[in-house]
Amino acid sequence: MMTENHVMNTYKRYALELVSGKGTKVYDKNGKEYIDFVSGVAVNCLGHCPPAIVNTINEQTKKLIHVSNNYWNEYNIKLSNILCEYCDHTEVFFTNSGTEAIEGALKCAKKFGTINGDGNKNKIIYMNNSFHGRTLGSLSVTGQSKYQQDYLPLIPNTVSIDFNNIEQLKEAFDDTVCGIILEPVQGEGGINVATKEFLQTARDLCDKYNALLIFDEVQCGLGRLGTMFAYKSFGVIPDIICIAKALGGGFPIGAFLTNTKSSVLTYGDHGSTYGGNPLACAVGCTILKELSGGIIDAIPQKSDYIVNKLTALKEKYPIIEQIKGMGLLLGIKLSIPTDVVIGSCIEKGLLVIPAAGNVIRLLPPLNVSTEDIDAAIKILEEAIKDNK
């Protein structure tokens, strides 16, 4: 690995320089192979360098890479139409990342409050242990003080509650609330799954107090839970959906989707220079085509297969306290810090990452094979055995 570089030191990187990838595997500069159960943190939904995406990028770069949003482009329209076919929403705004999608959703909530309130309908409710991004707006609704503490004061009139705590949810709501934002499954916060009752209560309260329900599906959406949109796994419809990560399969793109209630942005309210560019949207169209071709339908079976294997490990090794998550967004809660186990996994050829609360996060590509699952679980068991 290079001994000197000028990259800003904002990540605690592992001593690993990756140079290529194919499918579920990545390779370092020495040629060592790793099974990748990080997938760029739920980004590489089809694995590394899938032929369909490589071909789309190659072909589209020969035709049109970028044009201003002052003009229409073919794939901007096409991708918005495809997305809306899979959900209960009617409009799409394209961004370059998840945090930008969150920022747009928060602006919708704020403007909704301005339109429907008397000047004080501007409170946003968010969850403790949540993670929505590091720009100032998304940071203001990220329920982890370690990310917020050096940037205070943040956006005013935000209030945090405990995830899945219905009593706190009810207490936080009143006529001053313009929106509530949450992840149906908290990723970075520890792989915490929302209860159907909690989500339905949030929906009912938003209807009662005329507020917007925002689902951050940046990590858990686009197939990872076994449905194209995560909310369909719970049967509760939000007013705004935020997506990114898997939408580009490694190419930067995000979006927020609104329904008739939340579509409040008009000319001049919001913008993005690169958002919705033809190259990114062409990739997004290919991703959705690939996912809808049977990959998502197979996820429940793959999830059960992995969970059964992890449960068997839990019965053998007391340091495993709990198997968490759903679909292919899974976590292993340990009784010890995860660093040593993750380090051992890397040494043995498996990439996994931590989540809060001593949880090892498993995010395989959505088209992961049974053979790669078996190989990954074998390495994981060896790493746990070394540190039990």
pLDDT tens, position by position, 265-316: 999 999 999 999 999 999 999 999 999 999 999 999 999 999 999 999 999 9
| Amino acid code (one letter) for 359 | V
Is 325 a member of any domain?
yes
- Amino acid 63: pLDDT: 98
Where are the alpha helices (H) located in the chain, listed in sequence order?
Answer: 39-42, 51-60, 74-85, 98-116, 136-140, 145-148, 166-172, 196-209, 278-290, 299-316, 339-348, 370-386
Q: What is the mean pLDDT of residues 226-231?
A: 99
**Residue 9 placed within a domain:** no
pTM for this predicted structure: 0.97
The verdict on residue 304 lying in a domain is yes
State the pLDDT at residue 3.
60
pLDDT at position 139? 99
pLDDT per residue as tens digits for the range 112-170 = 999 999 999 999 999 999 999 999 999 999 999 999 999 999 999 999 999 999 999 99
- State the average pLDDT for the chain: 97
Q: 11 in a domain, yes or no? A: no
Which residue, of 229, 258, 293, is where some domain finishes? 293
Place of tokens 């429907």: 116
Structure-token match 């995860």, residue found: 338
What is the edge-to-edge ordering of all strands in the sheet holding 123-127? 91-95, 254-258, 240-243, 212-216, 177-182, 123-127, 158-161
Give the HSE-up count for residue 233: Cα atoms under 13 Å, Cβ half-sphere.
28
Residue with tokens 């059960």: 304
Residues 209 and 279 in one domain: yes
Task: Verify that 27 and 74 share a domain, yes or no.
Answer: no
pLDDT (0 to 100) of residue 51:
98
Residue 1 lies in a domain: no
pLDDT tens by residue, 32-74: 999 999 999 999 999 999 999 999 999 999 999 999 999 999 9
What range does the domain containing 364 cover? 18-50+296-386
What's the CATH code of the domain at 156? 3.40.640.10
Instruction: List pLDDT tens digits, range 314-349.
Output: 999 999 999 999 999 999 999 999 999 999 999 999
Asked if 209 and 281 sit in the same domain, the reply is: yes
314 shares its domain with 246: no
Helix, strand or coil, per DSSP, at residue 182:
strand
9-18, 175-184, 219-228: least confident range: 9-18
Residue 387: the pLDDT is 85
Same domain, 175 and 232: yes
**Which pLDDT band, with edges at 50, 70 and 90, does 1 fall under?**
low
Mean pLDDT across 241-252: 99
Indicate whether 377 pLDDT > 80. Answer: yes
CATH assignment at residue 40: 3.90.1150.10
Give the integer Cα–Cα distance in Å for 148 and 151. 6
Query: What pLDDT is recorded for position 340?
Result: 96
Residue 359 near residue 352 (C-beta atoms within 8 A): no
Together in a domain, 144 and 213: yes
**278-290 helix and 51-60 helix, angle to the nearest 10 degrees:** 150
Residues 303, 281, single domain; the answer is: no
pLDDT exceeds 60 at position 2: no
Among the candidates 234, 262, 293, a domain finishes at 293
Which of 243, 266, 293 delimits the end of a domain? 293
Say if CB 47 and CB 363 are below 8 A apart: no
203 shares its domain with 68: yes
On whether both 136 and 252 belong to a single domain, the answer is: yes
Indicate whether 3 belongs to any domain.
no
